Structure 1
Amino acid sequence: MQETGRLRVVGIVHPAVRGITARAQLAVSVRGATAAAVAAAVAELPECHRAELAAGRAPVVAEVAGGGLDRLTAVVDRVRRMEGVACVETAVYTRVLKDPYLASAPPPEAEPDQVDLRLLGLLERDGRLSFAELAGYVGLSPGAVRSRVMRLLEGRALRVTALLDPAAAGQGCHGGFALTLGPGAERVAATVASWEETRFLTRCLGRSDLVGAVAVENPEAVRGVHERLRLLPGVELRDTWLRLDRVAGGRPPRAAKGGCGARPEGLPEAPPRLAGPGPADPGTSPRPSSSGQAGSARFPSHGPDGPGGGRGAGRGGAGGVR
């Protein structure tokens, strides 16, 4: 499945590493323009992580992020001023309960320097890069790179995992929901997060208490999830939608055409390695075992679910870092 692009090994960087501390979902109503034009304009914003065309109360659904609530407010105001935007309803995330991109993880303990940030960027593009290959990009020995990567992993700044496209598992239809909660809110939220169909879930402030996304087989199955939500105690389903098309965002960069072994887009050619022996030689860099070990280090196993991402694949540690 790696050759078809359905299974991708990627490095996932905690949003806080890049100063992203505030996120929100926008439900955008449209007047005097096409929904596609408005979605494309929203997707052009650098703070936009995801923009979708939807069948529901709002024809455009987007996720934006920024370094604090002031920055997030400025982004929402920019969307409101866009041509064709009639109204924007905002749900500010307060606690992400389920997300493949680490937003639901505790804040990282590691404090990356400039070299670490470059390593993180490389692993985001291709989580299969070996320590020796990474060393060629940053001008360090493989042993030094290994130490840095392991520190980032252990400090929760990074995880390397395999993501399976939901469509490969027959779950290519995506929808969403927004609801309010009554007594027993935490128990209800935990129940919804445990559902296999739930790919993303967050507590939020605004018109709704809980916003989520699902991936299932067909539109009828999306409706089935919405009906299950209505049966939960204390739940009022305020909004539902079916994704029609993804305009932008929601996935790490794809590999370049030519198969899984092709160089990822945006990944430069590695410069010549600095002269002189290092703690480990590229020709003898440790290779991962079938259990996911890299030398004596074991990479953590993850099974993320989230909107547009995929389901974690592999046990005993995924990732090509070695």
Structure 2
Amino acid sequence: MGAYSQLSAAQTFPERPLRLLVGQAAGTSPDVVARTVAAKWSELLGQPVVVDNRPGAAESIAADAVAKSAPDGYTVLFGSIASHGIGPAVNKKLPYDPARDFAPISLVGTVPNVLVAYPGLPAKGMREFIAHIKANPGRLNYGSTGVGTSTHLGMELLKAKAGIDIVHVPYKSGSAAFADVMAGQVAAGLFNLPSQLALIRSGKLRALGVSSLRRSSQLPDVPTIDESGVPGYEVVVWYAVFAPAGTVKPIHARLHSDLIRAIDSPQLRERMAQLGVDPMTSTPEQLAQYSRSEIEKWGKVVREAAVKLE
């Protein structure tokens, strides 16, 4: 597209609704966050941003659809640690290249995980938990929401950093994993913090540590894993928006500027806090670098833990 055509396209963009593809089903946490962001983004763009759910294959279906879309700004991806972090680290046969096929726009926010344990486990905190596992190597289990998820690889990272031996038990759903931790069928699990709040507050699960480098405002009395004897430990679920590679610069710039304004708005920040999301923005270059660093980080975990997709 020539310089004049780019300028003309940018001046009239957007002339019709945009599609924001989400790689999770309607009603899931990523979908709710995407719809929250889309509503405010729509106001600023002056056109509806319509959420289009394309669940499945660890978000690669949605990501691939955007990668193959026209670079005109009308189809964008609500990406995440799954599509542009863990996914490319675990699956070398993805139908898209997370760097080459996308034009990063901005980070949207992060959500910490929380290590929870069966309340009957003789460990009141993180240090006691590590000591208990070390005293019983290979005899205790942890649950996850599936092979290659942040709930799985986050625990494998903890095993490596803390030098502990605890056996992985993958589940097909979060609810099944939570239930077995509550019942003591497995000792612990590292799960998305918002999904655990009610269970923690009711005493059905014991919170041992949060996976971010800062304590959560929703669980201020629960220390971070980093400050509890595992320095440098950090696992956060993150969300970001990507356009197809080749999106013309003036349109890309408009998408970026209005998305930043949306995320920085007091109304959206308040709503995201209610959802357990820490709002975060970035430049396109910062997002590209962050995605690269996440792929490298999780690739190392995958190799060292010999993780294989089932």
TM-score, normalising length: structure 1: 0.24
Higher strand content, 1 or 2: 1
TM-score, normalising length: structure 2: 0.24
Higher helix content, 1 or 2: 2
